[in-house]
Amino acid sequence: MTPLRIVVVEDDAIIATLVEELLEVMGHSVCANVATEHGAVAAASRWSPDLMIVDEQLGPGSGVCAMNKILLCGPMPHLFVSTHSLRIRAASANAIIVAKPFREQDLAVGIDLALAAVPGH
């Protein structure tokens, strides 16, 4: 897999750090690690990442709402990591979701699916 520049959106600092470390082990770089809906929108605009990995429930805000705002500017490969799969699916039927807790292989498959969902990006 080609190394990606990734924005991680996670409000739990321990989980955010673990995801960042796992992505780096996988050969990717994390260009931003943010914890709020507003932070996610700002990071997407500032960094134009190859991929966003987004938690659904943020404090404050929602990862789904953040992605809806980001997608108004154009396609952005993304996946959700969450324990709230049903809530995400209700808001976005075609969302790519990696359920917490997850393994490296689960994340790798989610990344592949997210990139395939936005051809040419």
d(CA 37, CA 34): 9
Domains of the chain and any CATH numbers:
5-116 (3.40.50.2300)
- What average pLDDT does range 70-92 have in this prediction? 92
**pLDDT class of 1 with cuts at 50, 70, 90:** low
pLDDT at site 38: 96
d(CA 10, CA 19): 9
- What average pLDDT does range 21-36 have in this prediction? 97
